[in-house]
Structure formats: structure tokens, C-alpha cells
Structure 1
Amino acid sequence: MSIADIKKTLEQKTARSIEAFKGELQKIRTGRAHPGILDQVHVEYYGQMVSISQVANVSLLDARTISVQPWEKAMAPKIEKAIRESELGLNPASLGDLLRVPMPALTEERRKDLTKVVRNEGEDARVAVRNLRRDANEQVKRLLKDKQIGEDDERRAQDDVQRLIDRTIAEIDRLVHGKEAEILAV
């Protein structure tokens, strides 16, 4: 393994960490409707647990209402039950074969709680990225120990790793601030 391989692997892992963090942020409701909110809800379909988007069209009716149109009429009650039993606190209303999922308004207290959740998720993402930095630095030190690189190369590689980690943490902070602003907007 070379320094270039270590850097490339680190870049891929930090990009995946950012994507995973964005996915976690999408799960946090802000009072506005977003079709991605239902991605974590699964329903049984011919013996398999699949996400709702695989058995129905999920779209927005307006800023505060999601519509779910099952491809098979028999799936409507199952989807409605799955949404109701999910931990999202949503209460779908059935209109024939169309499900309307209104987003409840958030109270000020709930908004503050959600900002704390966002900060905790951000801290978890930062810890994950720091762990990636530690692993990359250990690999670089192993190369130095095995005399595959010199001390100057080791120092340069650690500086490059630190710059990448700093950029990633800045991106996480930007996402946290954006989500907090979105939650606190009335």
C-alpha cells in the first residue's frame, strides 16, 4: 500500500461518511414535507420487507403533505399501517387508493429538541471522520516503520490527511448549521 492508496481510500471513506450523515439529517423532520422521510419505512410485499418507494409513488401534494399512491390497491392498508406504526409520528389519511400524509406542525420546544438531535448527529459524524484520520495516520506510520517511506514523506502525508479531514469536518459543520436553520425557521 502506498501513500496515494491511503489518501484515495480516505477520500472515499470521508465521502461515504458525508453521504451517511446527509441521510441521517433527512430523517429528521422539520415540519415541511419531504418524500425522503418515508424512505426508512418498510412494508411487507410478497414476503419481503421493502421501502415504500418500491411499491408506491411517493410525491408532494403541497409543502406540508406527502401523497403515497400504491401500485397495487391491496398494498394501501399495509402502507398506511406501516407509516402509522413507524417512529415518525405521522398519521396518514386514506382517500380511496391514495394516501395523504400531512406533516404535523412543530412546537418551539420540539424544534429546540430537534436542533440538539442534529448537533448530536453532527458530533457522531465528526467522531467517525476523526477515526478515519487515526486509521490513515496509523497506516502511514506503518509504512515509515517498514521503511517504505521517509520521515519527510510521512509528515507530508499526515498533513494531507489533516487537510482532508479539516475540509470534511467543515462540510459537516455547514450541514449542521443549515439543518438547524431549517428546523428553527417558522
Structure 2
Amino acid sequence: MSNGADFQDIQRRMEGAINAFRNDLASLRTGRASSNLLDPIQVQAYGSAMPLNQVATVTVPEPRMLQVSIWDKSMVNAVDRAIRESNLGFNPIMDGTTLRIPLPELNEQRRKELAKIAHTYAENARVAVRHVRRDAMDGLKKAEKDGDVGQDDVRSQSERVQKMTDDTITSIDGMLSEKQAEIMQV
């Protein structure tokens, strides 16, 4: 764009980072069963890594139980292995092409581990937002160097990009605080 930063694109990319963070948080267990808990699991299927939801259906038959119905009988062991090797602390029970996963009560140590994982997800989201900011600032510097935009415009647009970045990071921090409170609640 010849007149500086494309603020709609910057906003869209920052919203993408927030949405990815929201999905990551949804996969963290808070004591209640949710079919989203298994979303981050990748299964070695048909020679490549596939998301679990592409080889099975995840349902919640009881508040503290997940049920994974695997479509292809040959994939049962691969799905079982992927769930056990994930960092989620689940121990599935095999029953034909169905895996039942009881959700144990969260102890204090596991709650702290989940809070650390949430922190990691938040930091990844912050880094993604900072990358968007860096790309926008680089674009502004290039536009200024090419003579497309004046110094005053670059300064005001830089401040606007920084404000968008700050607002997005504040939103990420708020979501992290909510999730931590939810995780630590007994």
C-alpha cells in the first residue's frame, strides 16, 4: 500500500493470533470434560500426522469422561498412543474401536503444570502479535525510505500500530488471567 500501513490487515492478523490463543486455551482441562480437550493431539495416520478429529469423533457422555469413537479399526492403537504421549495426562481405556478417557481430579501439581502451559500459549500469542507489529513497522520504514509516506505520517501510523499491539496484548493477558483462575479453582 503506497500510503503506509494497512490497518485492516494488521487488525486481522492480530485477531488471528487471539483466535489461535483462544483455541489453545480451550484445549486445557479445567476439571470438566470438553470435546476440545483433545484438539491439539496429532495422530500418525496413513503416513502423516493428522488431527484427532479427522480420524475419530470425540464426545462427552458424562461430566468427567471423554469418549473417542475411532472410524477405522486399524487406527485404534495409533490414537491410543497419541493420547497417551500427549502432555495432557490422560490414560485411555480401550473397548473395541472406542476409547474411554476418565478425567481424574486435578491435583495441585497438575493445576500448576496446566497454568504453565497456559503461560506458554500466551507467550506464543504475544510473540505472534509482536511479529505482526514488526512487519507493519518494517513496511512503514520502507514506505518512508521510498518517499511514499512522510515522517509525520510514519510517526502517527507507528503510534497507531503500537496502540493496536498494546490493546491486543492486554486482551491476551486478560484471557490468560481468566483461564488461570478457572484452572486453579478447586
For this structure pair, what is the TM-score category when the shorter chain's length is used for normalisation? 0.7 to 0.9
The yes-or-no answer on 1:42 pairing with 2:42 is yes
Partner of 2:89: 89
Indicate conservation of the 8 Å contact 1:122/1:172, yes or no: yes
SS of equivalent to 1:68: strand
CA 1:63–1:165 in 2, change beyond 3 Å: closer, same or farther?
same
The equivalences for 1:101-112 within 5 A come to 101-112=101-112
Q: Which one-letter code corresponds to 1:50 in the other structure?
A: M
The equivalences for 1:141-156 within 5 A come to 141-156=141-156
Q: Which one-letter code corresponds to 2:57 in the other structure?
A: N
Return 70-79 or 98-107, whichever deviates more.
70-79
The equivalences for 1:45-124 within 5 A come to 45-124=45-124
- Separation in 2 of the partners of 1:92 and 1:41? 14
- Separation in 2 of the partners of 1:106 and 1:179? 15
Q: Which one-letter code corresponds to 1:172 in the other structure?
A: I
- Separation in 2 of the partners of 1:36 and 1:170? 25
Q: Deviations over 1:69-122 (max 9, x none)?
A: 122344334422332233322111123443211122211132133323323432
Q: Deviations over 1:158-185 (max 9, x none)?
A: 1221221122112101210111011011
TM-score normalised over the length of structure 2: 0.84
CA 1:43–1:134 in 2, change beyond 3 Å: closer, same or farther?
closer
Partner of 1:175: 175
Q: Deviations over 1:120-169 (max 9, x none)?
A: 43234223322322331222122122221222322221122122112211
Q: Which one-letter code corresponds to 1:175 in the other structure?
A: M
- Separation in 2 of the partners of 1:174 and 1:32? 21
Shift of 1:4: 6.0
Shift of 1:55: 2.0
Return 1-10 or 99-108, whichever deviates more.
1-10
Indicate conservation of the 8 Å contact 2:5/2:136, yes or no: no
Partner of 1:13: 13
CA 1:134–1:91 in 2, change beyond 3 Å: closer, same or farther?
same
CA 1:155–1:42 in 2, change beyond 3 Å: closer, same or farther?
closer
Return 27-36 or 41-50, whichever deviates more.
41-50
Structure with more contact order per residue of length (Cα contacts < 8 Å, sep ≥ 6): 2
CA 1:16–1:86 in 2, change beyond 3 Å: closer, same or farther?
same
Indicate conservation of the 8 Å contact 2:136/2:161, yes or no: yes
Indicate conservation of the 8 Å contact 1:3/1:157, yes or no: no
Q: Deviations over 1:2-51 (max 9, x none)?
A: 34653233222212211222233234332322212222323344444322
SS of equivalent to 1:94: strand
Q: Which one-letter code corresponds to 1:17 in the other structure?
A: A
TM-score normalised over the length of structure 1: 0.84
